[in-house]
């Protein structure tokens, strides 16, 4: 057992981030990797037990972390996003949640052999999925827009209500059993819930107003919002336990729909903080479990309960609640299957386990084991199956990584056409309808919008596209587009054409952190490429084999050939860049922009061969 508290804290953070990296590297569900890491250092090998190490600080630490994660998730809930999806989303977060509560409670009573009191409390807790588990899965699985948005909205909105339903069930049971409680406790709970929503709304409006009128300097904006979230959660939770989550959700949703100009920068800050907290909290919770909790997981009644929750309760609640909602059978099947439980379920259940045991209710002793069994089973089963099932139901945007090209011009359309021939998903975006004429005439998929507009998030589904290429005639605009979408695509996947410096604005002197990676060669900006295209340059695709190697290709190519990109055998794209050094392996395809002379010689050779063949036939 580690004795140093500082060392325990270091292990928690390192294991959390290492688990996230491993999940990314090997394409595994991050929640599964974190859970396994926590179990290994906790109950299995006994390296640490954070619940004991941190003592009274453990629960407040976890609670505030969950509040920040939930707030960050609710910042993504802009009402504009669910245009056309309002009906199924509303049905699922209301009737669907209610059905899941009732069916889950009945299952707990009849299958897991819990008392009615315990059954209805954990039935409320288990309606949650939450951003801690749903958002990482959606990030990895690349679902199509409709099921992805439904699962995201359900996870974030229902998350605080699971805790509230558990509190409501508990207070109702105490009232019905007599036990010194009267109706005033229920009224206090309802009043505290309403107060939490109002408090979250007030905090969002106040902080938003201070941000917009400039009363908070730029460097303090994110820390101020961070502090407000902690304060909002704490005030509500001190008044009535578990209403804090409702308060921060209301605060986040209000923020998301206020149109605050600096919201995107704050969202990036919160995403980074949330990633660190999410990773750490999962390690904290799983490593604090006991060996007895793990052994109880294998009890027949717990296994039976988990199976029914997976295969009956969740699908049934979704199918019934979405009747005549406009969702297809395939979408209902996917949404009805995916319901991983996460941090909120673990933290709230651990709180109620001790409270229910103190009240002497039957079955309270196995609540923690039951919760962990459901959490671990759902994150594993749903984490590993979401991608496979989405592909089977044709609800996945998986395939060859696509490219989003900003700017419609002669060269960008020709580049898009070549990529389309290689079956690479392509979308050309331009704010000029006239310039998009070239895309329309070439039959290239296109969208007429301003890529930097806030509306872009709701008009373009970015899921199929892994790369962004800004290819307009304005270097500064290209740099701005790439800088804006670094968080969306990753710094290694945003590109712009080489700077032209034709306007005398000295753009080559701007901060190296701004803009994207420069494509192809410093010698070839957009004007040079269009000039070459007009002069007869053509796009060529060359297959690399074990006989015709990359080295041989580089030796054979003409000096003026512009190397564009390599389509790997694995379907990934590797672009030639200003500072890049890439090579092709057998099975890869090199796409280049080739001088007309080589093409002319090839045509001449074909004509000569045809003439020789004709003469041979005559003779």
d(CA 215, CA 224): 11
Residue 99 has pLDDT above 70, yes or no: yes
Nearest CA among 503, 506, 494, 496 for reference residue 526 = 496
Ranges of H-type helices in 213-243: 221-239
Nearest-angstrom CA–CA distance, 224 and 48: 34
Q: What is the largest CA-CA distance in the chain?
A: 113
CB burial of residue 372 (10 Å; 0-12, 13-18, 19+): buried
Which residues contact residue 180 at a Cβ distance below 8 angstroms, ignoring those fewer than 6 apart? none
pLDDT tens profile 516-573: 888 887 778 888 888 888 888 889 898 888 888 888 888 888 878 888 899 988 888 8
Least confident of 130-139, 210-219, 509-518, 556-565: 509-518
pLDDT in tens, 245-287: 889 888 988 888 887 766 666 666 666 777 788 888 888 888 9
Which CATH number fits the domain 5-164+265-392, given the four candidates 3.90.1010.10, 2.40.50.1020, 3.40.50.1010, 1.20.1530.20? Answer: 1.20.1530.20
d(CA 280, CA 8): 11
| Phi, psi (rounded to 5 degrees) for 427 | -140, 125
Confidence of residue 336 (pLDDT cuts 50, 70, 90): very high
pLDDT at 608: 66
pTM of the model: 0.72
In the predicted structure, residue 195 carries a pLDDT above the cut 90: yes
Give me the residue spans of the domains in the chain.
Answer: 5-164+265-392, 402-607
Distance CA 231, CA 408 (A): 48
**What letter does residue 509 receive in the DSSP assignment?**
G
Q: Which residues pair with 542 in a beta bridge?
A: 590
Query: Which among 120, 35, 23 has a CA at the least distance from the CA of 294?
Result: 35
Specify which residues 574 forms β-bridges with: 566
Q: In the prediction, which pLDDT does 186 show?
A: 74
Q: Is pLDDT at 180 greater than 60 in this prediction? A: no
Tokens of 241: 């336990």
Q: Please, what is the angle between helix 343-359 and helix 263-287, to 10°? A: 50
Share of the chain above pLDDT 70, in %: 88
Note the pLDDT tens digit of each residue in 449-477. 888 876 676 667 777 888 999 988 888 88
* 209 contact partners, CB below 8 Å, separation of at least 6: none
Distance (Å, whole) CA 534 – CA 206: 58
Per mean pLDDT, which range of 20-24, 150-154, 165-169, 605-609 is the poorest?
A: 605-609
Does residue 201 register a pLDDT over 90? yes
Q: Per residue in 470-525, pLDDT tens?
A: 988 888 888 888 888 887 788 888 998 887 655 455 555 555 557 788 888 777 88
Binned at pLDDT 50, 70 and 90, residue 394 comes out as confident
Beta strands in 568-610 (DSSP E): 573-575, 589-594
The arrangement of strands across the sheet holding 589-594 comes to 538-543, 589-594, 562-567, 573-575
Which residue has better confidence, 309 or 506?
309
Q: Domain spanning 402-607 has what CATH number?
A: 3.40.50.720
Q: Tokens at residue 254, please? A: 């209000």
CB 232 within 8 A of CB 254: no
Residue 404 has pLDDT above 80, yes or no: yes
Q: What is the DSSP letter of 571?
A: S
- The pLDDT tens digits for 105-116 are 999 999 998 988
> How big, in percent rounded to 5, are the helix, strand and coil portions of the chain?
65, 10, 30
Tokens of 115: 């008392």
337 with 317: CB under 8 angstroms? no
Contact between residue 144 and residue 334 where contact means Cβ atoms under 8 Å apart: no
């Amino acid at each position: 057992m580690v004795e140093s508290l500082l060392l325990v804290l270091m292990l928690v953070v390192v294991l959390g981030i290492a688990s996230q990296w491993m999940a990314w590297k090997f394409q595994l569900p991050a929640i599964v990797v974190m859970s396994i890491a926590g179990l290994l250092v906790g109950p299995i090998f006994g390296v640490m037990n954070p619940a004991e190490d941190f003592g009274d600080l453990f629960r407040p630490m976890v609670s505030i972390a969950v509040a920040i994660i939930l707030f960050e998730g609710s910042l993504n809930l802009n009402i504009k996003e669910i245009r056309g999806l309002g009906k199924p989303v509303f049905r699922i977060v209301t009737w669907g949640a209610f059905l899941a509560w009732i069916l889950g409670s009945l299952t707990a009573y009849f299958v897991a052999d819990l008392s009615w009191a315990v059954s209805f409390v954990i039935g409320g807790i288990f309606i949650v999925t939450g951003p801690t588990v749903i958002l990482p899965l959606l990030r990895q699985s690349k679902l199509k827009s409709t099921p992805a948005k439904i699962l995201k909205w359900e996870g974030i909105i229902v998350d605080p209500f699971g805790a509230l339903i558990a509190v409501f069930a508990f207070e109702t049971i105490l009232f019905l059993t007599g036990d010194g409680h009267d109706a005033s406790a229920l009224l206090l709970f309802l009043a505290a819930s309403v107060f939490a929503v109002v408090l979250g709304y007030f905090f969002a409006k106040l902080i938003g107003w201070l941000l917009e009128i400039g009363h908070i300097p730029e460097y303090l904006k994110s820390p101020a919002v961070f502090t407000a979230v902690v304060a909002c959660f704490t005030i509500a939770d001190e008044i009535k336990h578990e209403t804090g989550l409702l308060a921060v959700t209301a605060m986040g949703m209000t923020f998301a729909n206020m149109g605050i100009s600096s919201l995107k920068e704050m969202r990036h800050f919160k995403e980074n903080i949330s990633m660190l907290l999410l990773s750490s909290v999962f390690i904290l919770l799983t490593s604090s479990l006991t060996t007895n909790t793990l052994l109880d997981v294998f009890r027949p009644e717990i296994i039976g309960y988990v199976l029914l929750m997976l295969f009956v309760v969740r699908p049934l609640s979704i199918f019934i609640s979405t009747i005549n909602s406009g969702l297809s059978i395939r979408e209902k099947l996917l949404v009805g299957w995916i319901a991983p439980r996460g941090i909120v379920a673990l933290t709230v259940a651990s709180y109620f386990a001790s409270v229910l045991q103190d009240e002497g209710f039957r079955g309270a002793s196995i609540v923690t084991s039951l919760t962990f069994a459901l959490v671990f089973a759902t994150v594993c089963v749903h984490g590993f199956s979401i991608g496979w099932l989405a592909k089977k139901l044709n609800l996945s945007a998986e395939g060859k990584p696509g490219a989003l090209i900003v700017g419609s011009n002669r060269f960008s359309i020709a580049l898009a056409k070549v990529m389309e021939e290689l079956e690479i998903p392509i979308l050309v975006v331009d704010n000029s309808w006239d310039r998009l004429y070239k895309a329309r005439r070439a039959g290239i998929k296109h969208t007429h919008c301003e890529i930097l507009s806030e509306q872009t998030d709701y008009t373009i589904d970015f899921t199929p596209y892994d790369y962004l290429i800004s290819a307009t005639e304005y270097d500064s605009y290209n740099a701005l587009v790439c800088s804006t979408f670094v968080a969306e695509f990753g710094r290694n996947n945003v590109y712009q054409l080489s700077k032209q410096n034709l306007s005398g604005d000295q753009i080559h002197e701007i901060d190296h952190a701004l803009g994207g990676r420069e494509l192809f060669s410093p010698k070839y900006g957009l004007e040079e490429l269009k000039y070459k295209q007009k002069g007869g340059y053509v796009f060529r695709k060359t297959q690399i084999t074990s006989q015709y190697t990359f080295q041989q290709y580089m030796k054979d190519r003409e000096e003026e050939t512009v190397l564009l990109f390599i389509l790997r055998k694995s379907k990934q794209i590797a672009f030639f860049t200003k500072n890049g050094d890439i090579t092709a392996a057998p099975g890869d395809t090199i796409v280049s922009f080739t001088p007309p002379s080589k093409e002319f010689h090839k045509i001449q050779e074909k004509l000569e061969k045809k003439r020789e063949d004709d003469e041979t036939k005559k003779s």
